[in-house]
Amino acid sequence: MTAAKPYPLLPVPPPALPFVGRSAEGRALLLSIRAARSVALVAPPAYGKSALLSELVEAVEEITVPLIVPKVAPFTAFLSDLHDAMHGAGIYSPGVKITKDLDTDRATWRKKYAGGNEARARALVEALRLYVQAGHQPPAVLVDDAGGITQAMTPVLVGMAAHAALVLAIYPETLQKAGTRRLWQLCDKVELAQLDGSDSRALVGSLTASYGITTPDTKAYENSVLALSSGIPGEIVRLVRYVPAAEIVKQRGGSALAQNRAAREERGTALAPVLLVLSAVFVIIRVLGRARGEMDAYVIGQVGMAASMILLPLMRRWTAAR
């Protein structure tokens, strides 16, 4: 049963930038929310966690009430933000007189549960429980930045997960935080990887059009952005939005030149063991020729050593140049 929305939800600004890809990850998130299961949305910085959550708000509204909260820390602010989101959705803490004026009702809620975070957290969990008990689909609590989770917050979030689908955007290392394992065991895990080549190129094209960027060689510009960004959405946005097109192409050219030079140096360096072996062979021939009184062998060894000192370094540089 989809809950009615008696009052406007917290305003969620539409994505300011074009959204590309992440269809599989979006479907996974929505399936978990529909099943009232919590989700850990895991990715490094700049991989598009916030953009994905913003993109999915309308789809979540078709399933249940989305409660948008910016971040989980500090915990006092998290509880206050969650109260405001629940108030906007018509989910009220028990025993609090409601005037439908957010500022007034927030002050009343704080006064009613003046025992601090623990009392206010219990009130919010109880409000969620009563809401679901009334026959509503468990709401989805979308936390844009849950990286600040601590051991002390974990019992409260576990309690909320019993009556709501938590969607917690975190970094991979957040999963390793002490005292939080119990929460992650309750969550489905959705991981964001780098965008593939086609999605990356589509994002570059959309951003280029959005910002009105023109270049003499659009293909070279796109290829440069793709090479420098490595498929990381936030890096693509940074390059297109803030770095001049000419500088991007120049950086890409310089990068390619440096890579090619390094490869050539590597090929030259790979000759070093061969050069050492050849030099050692000529030394042995020279020593044996002198010990046996064989002048020809001695001369060959001497000439070979001289050649190693003069010609072989030249061969190394020639190979590197090739």
pLDDT digits (tens, 9 = 90+) for 201-221: 999 999 998 888 888 888 999
- The predicted structure's pLDDT at residue 311: 62
Q: 191, 226, 247 — which closes off a domain?
A: 191
The yes-or-no verdict on residue 50 having pLDDT over 80 is: yes
Q: Which of 268, 283, 310 is the last residue of a domain?
A: 268
Residue 136: pLDDT over 90: yes
DSSP codes of every residue in 59-110: HHHTTS-EEEEEES-SHHHHHHHHHHHHHHTT---TT----S-HHHHHHHHH
CA pair distance 8, 43, nearest whole angstrom: 31
Both 165 and 32 in one domain: the answer is yes
Burial 63-96 (b: 16+ CB within 10 A, else e): bbbbbbbebbeebeebbbbbbbbbbbbbbbbeeb
User: Taking residues 58-79, what's their average pLDDT?
Assistant: 96
pLDDT of residue 255: 43
Q: Is residue 18 part of a domain?
A: no
Q: Does 155 lie in the same domain as 223?
A: no
Asked whether residue 31 falls in the same domain as residue 180, the answer is: yes
Domain shared by 55 and 183, yes or no: yes
Residue 223 included in any domain: yes
pLDDT tens digits for 155-213?
A: 999 999 999 999 999 999 999 999 999 999 999 999 999 999 999 999 999 999 888 88
Whether residue 184 lies inside any domain: the answer is yes
The mean of the pLDDT values for the chain is 84
260: domain range? 197-268
Looking at the structure, do residues 95 and 172 belong to the same domain, yes or no? yes
Domain count, the chain: 3
Is residue 55, in this structure, part of any structural domain at all?
Answer: yes
Together in a domain, 89 and 144: yes
Residues 143 and 240 in one domain: no
Let me know if residue 8 belongs to a domain.
no
How is residue 174 annotated by DSSP? G
Which is more confident, 152 or 251? 152
**Pair 38, 172 in one domain:** yes
Based on the domain organization, do 151 and 214 belong to the same domain? Answer: no
Q: What is the pLDDT of residue 125?
A: 96
Boundary-marking domain end, from 168, 191, 214 = 191
Residues 225 and 135 in one domain: no
Q: Is residue 79 in some structural domain?
A: yes
Residue with tokens 């309308």: 58
Instruction: Output the domain CATH number for residue 33.
Output: 3.40.50.300
Q: Are residues 162 and 262 in the same domain?
A: no
Residue 1 domain-assigned?
A: no
Sorting pLDDT into bands at 50, 70 and 90, what band is 19? confident
- Is the domain of 168 the same as that of 224? no
Inside any domain, residue 118? yes
In angstroms, the CA 285 to CA 22 distance is: 67
Instruction: Report the pLDDT averaged over residues 91-100.
Output: 88
**pLDDT at residue 274, rounded to an integer:** 63
